[in-house]
Amino acid sequence: MTGSGWKDSVNIPESTTKATLYCSEDDKEEWDQEVEEQGYRSRSAYLYELIQEARAYREQGFLAHHESEERIEELKQEIEHLENRLENQEQQSSGRTKVDDVDFLEKFLEETYKPLDQILREIVESGALDDLIRKRVEDQLYFLAQQDRVEFERGHGWKLKNKGDW
């Protein structure tokens, strides 16, 4: 070695400096394999090119971590909004009643005052809630019957079994 030390031993220009990189042995082996597969002259040249590529991506906004998180949050909100719209459309197309819908509630209101319990009674008596709750209640009753907690008899309906039996 002469003069400036390590640079002279590998014919590196004076304008080049050394940067030390610490990594796992697995990473080093993986990089060496990529160097060989892609035909680079050295691991240093390969890593230098990767760093330059990453800089270019960052300048274009592709690697900015905070920007990615913001975009992810925007996309999550958009997904939630679209899911809500889809649910509303499915309810409308299935004919299911939405009890907090203004048009639905106006059917049970008049120009005179009605107490809430009367409005609720009229809604229940109209059968409008059957589609909303019937399937859920039936599913739960059959589930409880499978667990032998309730029983059904045609012509009579459902009843709770003695708690000591289950």
In a domain, residue 46? The reply is: yes
Q: How far apart are CA 66 and CA 87, in angstroms?
A: 32
In a domain, residue 5? The reply is: no
Which residue carries 């050295």 as its tokens? 42
HSE toward the beta carbon, residue 148, CA cutoff 13 A: 3
In a domain, residue 65? The reply is: yes
Select from 52, 78, 95 the last residue of a domain: 95
Q: What total of structural domains would you count in the chain?
A: 2
Question: Looking at the structure, do residues 31 and 89 belong to the same domain, yes or no?
Answer: yes
Structural domain harbouring 28: 21-95
In a domain, residue 2? The reply is: no
What averages of pLDDT result for each successive group of 10 residues across the chain (166 residues)? 47 80 92 93 91 84 68 87 80 62 85 92 84 82 90 91 71
Q: Residue 152 pairs with which residues in a beta bridge?
A: 158
pTM of the model: 0.34
DSSP 3-state of 71: helix
Residue type, 129: L
- Interior CA angle at 74 toward 73 and 79, to 5°? 95
Q: How far apart are CA 120 and CA 123, in angstroms?
A: 5
Question: Looking at the structure, do residues 57 and 82 belong to the same domain, yes or no?
Answer: yes
Q: How far apart are CA 3 and CA 8, in angstroms?
A: 7
Provide the pLDDT for residue 27: 93
In a domain, residue 11? The reply is: no
Question: Looking at the structure, do residues 136 and 79 belong to the same domain, yes or no?
Answer: no
In which element (H, E) is residue 158 found?
strand 157-160
